[in-house]
Amino acid sequence: MEQINTDDSHPTVIGYILWIFGFLGAHRFYYGRPITGTIYFFTLGLFFIGWIVDLFLIPGMSREARQKFREGPIDYNIAWLLLTFLGAFGIHRFYQGKWISGIIYLLTGGVFLIGIIYDFWTMNEQIDVINSGQK
């Protein structure tokens, strides 16, 4: 019998907060959907239509993410909020204990924003590795 993860690693309320910037795909990246997040980023949430539709899809995305990602010492929600709102300053990297890259992000504006895009694609996996103890 498969164990279902009941931790609240990706709550709906955080998804709705990130949805405010959903026309840039923030909530889709948060829920582990980097391809559609990138599409939203370049099309302004599929010309705002997909962004509105996602108001109704967020609860389902939240359930799927909770089953996929594990809780641990690094809180997904804090890391994602820091990345979304302060990513250019590397605050999310400091939070994860990645001091050197945090300083680099701080001095280079998130390595000229390319590092931020990389982190949007990989943040859930980065945290998952730390929370599983696999550095």
Cβ atoms < 10 Å from Cβ of 73: 10
Residue 3 forms part of a structural domain: no
* Total number of domains constituting the chain: 2
What domain range is 57 assigned to? 8-68
77 and 29 fall within a common domain: no
Q: What is the pTM of this model?
A: 0.86
Q: What is the pLDDT of residues 104-127, one digit of tens each?
A: 999 999 999 999 999 999 999 999
Work out the pLDDT band at 18, boundaries 50, 70, 90. very high
Decide if 79 contacts 92 (C-beta within 8 A): yes
Regarding whether 104 and 55 lie in a shared domain, the answer is: no
Residue 41 lies in a domain: yes
Tokens, residue 131: 């929370």
Confidence grade of residue 21 (pLDDT, cut at 50, 70, 90)? confident
